[in-house]
Amino acid sequence: MRPRRLFNEQNLLLLLSFFIAVTSWYYVVTTQNPRFPRTTFKAVAVIPDLSGEPAYGYSVLGVRVTPPTIAITGLPEQLIEIETVRTQPVMITGATQDVVRDVGVVLPPEFTRAARVRVAVQIAPAIAATTVRGVKVQIQNAPAGLVARVEPATVDVQVQGPVSIINKLRPEDLEVRVDGAALSMGRRSVTPEVHGPPEVTVLTIKPTAVLVVVTRKGS
């Protein structure tokens, strides 16, 4: 007696026909029947929502969101208008150092939301620049028996540094020096040196050079 084959040509044709019928049915009910909505997903950028301001003298240097994009799920006609989503508020009020928070994203209820994201806010001292006017020029190490005077007697110094220091800076907090050790009789143009608090950077000095006039005492 010859054994019967389970998958003969007739059975394979029936199985193929059944597969095609099921696939066609699924396509029709999911694309044409409103009871079977056609959901899809879309990658959108995440925008951090920062709440408040850092402490006085500090500012936000940068913000990083990880991951920078997320996938949301919804109907195609709803997703087409969405390019970005915002995070839940990240509080930075009074911050003097970096703030890192794990937060969710804000989405309408009809969308399926993704996992939470991490928002890292870099806080640093705020930097400002200002010009301190009327800083007196000092002559140090003047040769014995000689008298030196400077023209002009004061200069303007442009500096940069943390806001908390710059806003309180006075002319007396800066030193503009001319080394008189190598000076001799006569007139000479000299570039002075400027010294100030270590947190402060000197940008420019006006004028850039001063005239030093050296004479003998009593003359």
Predicted TM-score (pTM) of the model is: 0.59
In terms of domains, do 77 and 135 share one?
no
User: Who's near 71: CB < 8 A, 6+ residues apart?
Assistant: 41, 42, 43, 44, 114
Reading phi first (left if > 0) and then psi (alpha if -120 to 50, else beta), residue 206 is in beta
DSSP character string of 153-207: SEEEEEEEEEHHHHTT--GGG-EEEEE-TT--SEEEEE--EEE--TT-EEEEEES
Which residue blocks in 35-184 are alpha helix, DSSP H? 76-79, 163-166
Domain end residue (candidates: 100, 125, 150): 125
In terms of domains, do 141 and 65 share one?
no
Count CB neighbours of 53 within 10 A: 13
In terms of domains, do 54 and 87 share one?
yes
In terms of domains, do 72 and 121 share one?
yes
CA dihedral (142, 150, 136, 152) in degrees, to 10, reads -170
Closest to 156 in 3D by CA, of 192, 189, 131: 131
In terms of domains, do 195 and 171 share one?
yes
Range of the domain at 193: 127-216
Residue 131 lies inside a defined structural domain of this protein = yes
Residue 55 lies inside a defined structural domain of this protein = yes
pLDDT at 8: 63
Residue 13 lies inside a defined structural domain of this protein = no
> What's the mean pLDDT when you consider all of the chain?
85
In terms of domains, do 114 and 136 share one?
no
Domain end residue (candidates: 70, 92, 125): 125
pLDDT at 159: 96
How long a stretch of residues is the chain? 219
Residue 168 lies inside a defined structural domain of this protein = yes
Cα separation, 171 vs 103, whole angstroms: 48
Domain count, the chain: 2
User: Who's near 187: CB < 8 A, 6+ residues apart?
Assistant: 211, 212, 213, 214
In terms of domains, do 45 and 95 share one?
yes
103 pLDDT more than 90: yes
pLDDT digits (tens, 9 = 90+) for 128-186: 999 999 999 998 887 777 888 889 999 999 999 999 899 999 999 999 998 877 777 88
Domain end residue (candidates: 92, 109, 125): 125
In degrees and rounded to multiples of 5, residue 165 shows phi and psi of -95, -45
CA dihedral (81, 84, 89, 93) in degrees, to 10, reads -130
CATH code of the domain in which 96 resides: 2.170.120.40
CATH code of the domain in which 147 resides: 2.170.120.30
pLDDT digits (tens, 9 = 90+) for 106-129: 887 767 666 789 999 999 999 999
What's the mean pLDDT in 32-56?
A: 81
Residue 32 lies inside a defined structural domain of this protein = no
In terms of domains, do 111 and 164 share one?
no
Q: Do residues 211 and 189 touch, judged by C-beta distance below 8 A?
A: yes
- For the purposes of burial, counting CB atoms within 10 Å of the CB of 161, is it exposed (0-12), middle (13-18) or buried (19 or more)? buried
pLDDT at 155: 96
- Give the DSSP H or E segment for 136: strand 127-140
Residue 6 lies inside a defined structural domain of this protein = no
